[in-house]
Every structure is written in C-alpha cells, then in structure tokens.
Structure 1
Amino acid sequence: MEHPSIIFKIVCPDRPGLVSLLTSWISNYGGNIKHSDHHTDQDAGLFLSRIEWNSNNESLNRDEIYKEFEKIADAVNGQFNVNYSDEIPNVAIFVSKQNHCLIDLLWRVRNGELKMKVPLIISNHSHLENIANDFSAKFVHIDTFKTDKTVVEDQFLNLLKEYDIDLVVLAKYMQILSDSFLKKFSSIINIHHSFLPAFKGGQPYHRAWKRGVKLIGATAHYVTEDLDEGPIIEQCTVNVSHRDEVDDLIRKGRDIERIALARAVRLHLNHQVFVYNSKTAVFD
C-alpha cells in the first residue's frame, strides 16, 4: 500500500547548502521526491522551500518525521510545517446573499477538485439555506444586523470549534470581521471583487466603471486586521470596454471571482502558499 505524500515547507535565513541538507535527509530516510521547489528572497535574505515526497519505508512514523524536521529547522533557524496528502480539512464557508462562489466551491468539492469537507455554512441572510441542504452542509443563519457584533462573533467561534474547522472561506460574505475575532481565528481566505490594491472597499465595479477602466479583476487573499490588505494568493482579470455598463462588469466579475477563489483555496489546501513579510510566494 502506497503511503500518502509528505509535504515539507520551511522558511529560514538563506545560506549555502540548504537544498542539499534537506534533500539528503529525505534520501537517507528512503524518500522519493515528487516535487521540489525553492526560492530565495534576496531582499529579505530568506530561503523558502517546499518538498513533496513519498517514503519507501514499510511504516510511516509521522511523529518521527516531525521531530527530525524540527531538528533541521532548529539548526537553520527556520519555521516549518509538515503535512500529508491524505489530510482532509474541515472548511466553513461564510456567505451573504450572492450564491455564485458558494455553489462553485461546493460543486468542486463534490466533483473531487477540492480536497476538503464543508460541514458548516454560516450566513447573515437566510437566502442560501437550500443550497447548503443540497450539499448536506449545516446552514446557520445569524442575524448580524439585530445582534451585537461581539455576541455574533462569539457564536461564530463556538461553531468553528464545534465543527472542528481548520479554514474559513469568505465566499462573498459582505461583513467585516473584527480584530478581536481575527486574533482568535486567523486562517481565513476572502474573495474581493477588484484587482487589489485598486478599488479597495465597497462597490469596486461601480467605481471602476466611472473611471472607464479597460480591465477588471478579482483577488483572493488571506484576511488580516487591515481591510483588503491581506497577503494575496491569486488574482484573475478580464477585459471590459466602453460598451459595458456596471451590470456587465458585475456579470463578468462573477466569473473571475469564482475562478480566483477556487484557485486560492486549492493552493492553500495543497500547501503551496508561503506567507512572509505581509506577502506570499506561491509554488504552483
């Protein structure tokens, strides 16, 4: 029986011999490397590495592997993660009224394109409950307009804990999460309907139309305390013209919002994203 792939990621100060150090240990452990990606950020003086490999050993001792990589990381003053290809995280999707990103993500999960489970969908409107039912996800409607924000976010946190959620995806959730919430749960991906850093905030398509832009975009990024400033994972664009009205920009935007968000979630699930110095390196 073939073991799952082991995915090792590390960020550390750059120095000669790091690739040899990492790959030699994997080889000595009986590993066969499937993918090996490295990058040096010369300005930051950092080395980034993602190595995906299989072990030829009869038994796979995950604790032993973690401890050995921990020793290597300590020796090079690095930060590391070890993950496995058979890990299926629990993901909660937050939505408001728009359904296009939600339906697209759920369809990709059902079709096997996204390796995740979606046990929980949270919304500040009740409109999309039927979609959650169709995909056997628990739908929770919490009225964010009539309830104090602190109370609402405490309910969010309790639900995330109850359903053992690893990642939250804001699939057109049109509310701002507080700094307090983000300090308690920070693994969140958002889709913003503009090519950031242009047109941050609300109604970006309306503002883009008024400026007569010839290109609009969608940006999937990690959520931070600074609105629409989080590290960018994926961006998509589409051409527009003087013949397009605001509704045309919104229609075209929905298409690229779906694509950008799905790509970002997939990259995150595959452990292909490095976040450092308020930006990302994506090994795709």
Structure 2
Amino acid sequence: MKNTTYIFRIKCPDAYGIVAKVSTSLNDMDIFITDSSFFSDPSTKSYFMRLKIFSSKGEIEFSNFSNAFNEACSDLKMEWTLENEASSPNTLVFVSKYGHCLQDLLYKNSIDSLRMNVCGIVSNHENLKTISDNYSIPFFYIKNKFRNKR
C-alpha cells in the first residue's frame, strides 16, 4: 500500500519551540515528516513551515487531524493548510530582472519536487522570456512606466 503524501503549510508568530511542538504533535498522530523547510522573517516576526507528511495509517482524515493538531498547538496561534500532494494548483509566477528564483521554481516543478501548474510568467523585464520558452510557458511582459526605475 502506497502512502498518500500531504503538504502541510504553517504560518505563526515567531517563537522558540515551534519545530519541536509541531513535530511532536505529528508524531503523536503517527504522522511522518519526509521533507521540511522553514524560515523566520524578522521584519514581520513571523515563522513559516512547509512539511511533506504521510500517515502510517493511510489517508489523513481532515477533521480528526484538525482537532488533534489545533488542540496540541493552540498556544502557537497558527494559520495552517493541509492538502494532498498530488494536487497541482494553478500558478502565475511574477519575476523581476534576475532568473535564479524562477529557474529554481521551474526546476523543482519539472522533477515533481514542487507541484504546480505554471499558467504563465509575468515580468517587467524581457530577458527571462527565453526561460519561459524553454519550458513552453506563456510569458507576459509588463512595461515599466516609471522611467526612473532600473
């Protein structure tokens, strides 16, 4: 039996012990973390997590998960989403002059590390059109009307 994997995204006020509390609560529900990324934004004092998870019991029943997780982590004042990893949301990517982030997103998407249906790329610079052409993704150039911007 292949386990269904889910993407679990969390945003909350930054504090000590977030990773420990989240991983402990998931472990208590027999949920395994197979991949994780997280960062703190000092300017907004916010903490962000993205986890790839699966349950040893098969499908995760949303209401049971929600009740157990909210009870375990209520003091962290989290906003979170849980979605089946197989879903591919429609995505419009906005980029500026440099292509390193765009390249990273498109590469991860091409190897199914980051699932999304890229509907188009929007930029105020034309130099990234070749990247969109290489991936057969529509490119939309929005001319910058402010002449003092570089």
TM over 0.5: yes
With structure 2 as the length reference, what TM-score do the two structures score? Answer: 0.61
1:217-263 CA-partner distances (Å, limit 9, x unpaired):
x3xxxxxxxxxxxxxxxxxxxxxxxxxxxxxxxxxxx322346896x
Report which stretch shifted further, 52-61 or 32-41: 52-61
For 1:3, the equivalent position in structure 2 comes to: 3
The structure whose residues are more often strand, as a share, is 2
For 2:141, the equivalent position in structure 1 comes to: none
With structure 1 as the length reference, what TM-score do the two structures score? Answer: 0.35
For 1:79, the equivalent position in structure 2 comes to: 79
Instruction: Name the amino acid aligned to 2:21.
Output: L
**Distance (whole Å) between structure 1 residues aligned to residue 79 and residue 136 of structure 2:** 27
Where in structure 1 are there 5+ consecutive unaligned residues?
Answer: 94-110, 118-167, 172-189, 195-204, 206-215, 219-253, 263-284
Q: Which of structures 1 and 2 has the bigger CA Rg?
A: 1
Q: How many residues align?
A: 119
Q: 1:58 deviation in Å?
A: 4.5
For 1:43, the equivalent position in structure 2 comes to: 43
Kindly, what percent of the aligned residue pairs are identical?
17
For 1:29, the equivalent position in structure 2 comes to: 29
Q: 1:75 deviation in Å?
A: 2.6
Q: Does the CA contact (< 8 Å) of 1:191 and 1:257 recur in 2?
A: no
1:80-103 CA-partner distances (Å, limit 9, x unpaired):
1111113355x499xxxxxxxxxx
Match of residue 192, structure 1, among 119, 123, 130 = 123
Report which stretch shifted further, 62-71 or 11-20: 62-71
**Distance (whole Å) between structure 2 residues aligned to residue 49 and residue 34 of structure 1:** 13
Equivalent residue runs for 1:1-284 within 5 Å: 1-71=1-71, 74-89=74-89, 91=90, 169=119, 171=120, 190-192=121-123, 194=125, 205=126, 216=127, 218=128, 254-258=129-133
Q: Does the CA contact (< 8 Å) of 2:25 and 2:72 recur in 1?
A: no
Bigger RCO of structures 1 and 2 (CA < 8 A, at least 6 apart) = 2
Please, what is the CA RMSD of the aligned residues? 3.4
Q: 1:191 deviation in Å?
A: 1.9
Q: 1:60 deviation in Å?
A: 3.0
Instruction: Name the amino acid aligned to 2:16.
Output: P
